[in-house]
Amino acid sequence: MSKALFLDRDGTLILDKHYLADPAGVELIPGVAPALARARALGYRLFIVTNQSGVGRGYYTLDDVHRCNARMDELLGLPRPIWDGVCIAPESSDQPSRYRKPSPAYLQEMITEHRLDRAQCWMVGDRESDIDAGLNAQVNAAAVCTGKHDAAAWAALGRPGLAVFPDFAAFVATLR
């Protein structure tokens, strides 16, 4: 059985620009590219799981999201394909959605399809909805401090046992 990382995009891999629509605004969080390369070398499958409610709210289109993702991939400069799967949930929080985090639906589907070992899978993100998507899918969860919450804010949220890392690179450095 395989192992995998399920990764939030905004605030985890790239800076959260809040409703990012312009590929020119994509900025990698430092250390992300070598960390992804290390995770891949360790045998982890890599999946993006991103909520893009700006689509559902009419602020930008799904095409804009794809163009921003393409720009991120270009900046990463890693061998293609970088991702084993990309899940974009375009609904706003008040619209019905199968995949919008904290829904575990995408993770569960990939766990089945790719025969992943839940005990060796992680959901990594900067918001509680990321953590909850991971826990709802019964995988490990790791929080980063490069987006919505800093370390003090995560502590104040009172999530006992939650693994909190300064950034994605610090998380990947702990993987074996």
Catalytic annotation, residues: 8, 10
Least spacing, CB of residue 149 vs Mg ion, in Å: 10
Q: What order of strands is seen across the sheet that includes strand 163-165? A: 85-89, 44-51, 2-7, 116-125, 140-144, 163-165
Query: Which range, of 98-106, 120-128, 136-144, 168-176, touches Mg ion by CB under 5 A?
Result: 120-128
For residue 10, count CB atoms less than 10 angstroms from its CB and return exposed for 0-12, middle for 13-18, buried for 19 or more.
Answer: buried
Bridge partners, 5 (sequence order): 46, 122
Phi, psi (degrees; rounded to nearest 5) at 96: -60, 140
Site for Mg ion contains 132 (CB under 5 A): no
Least spacing, CB of residue 121 vs Mg ion, in Å: 18
Phi, psi (degrees; rounded to nearest 5) at 82: -75, -40
Site for Mg ion contains 56 (CB under 5 A): no
Site for Mg ion contains 126 (CB under 5 A): yes
Binding mask 4-23 for Mg ion (x = CB under 5 A): ----x-xx------------
User: Would you tell me which residues interact with Mg ion (CB under 5 A)?
Assistant: 8, 10-11, 126, 147
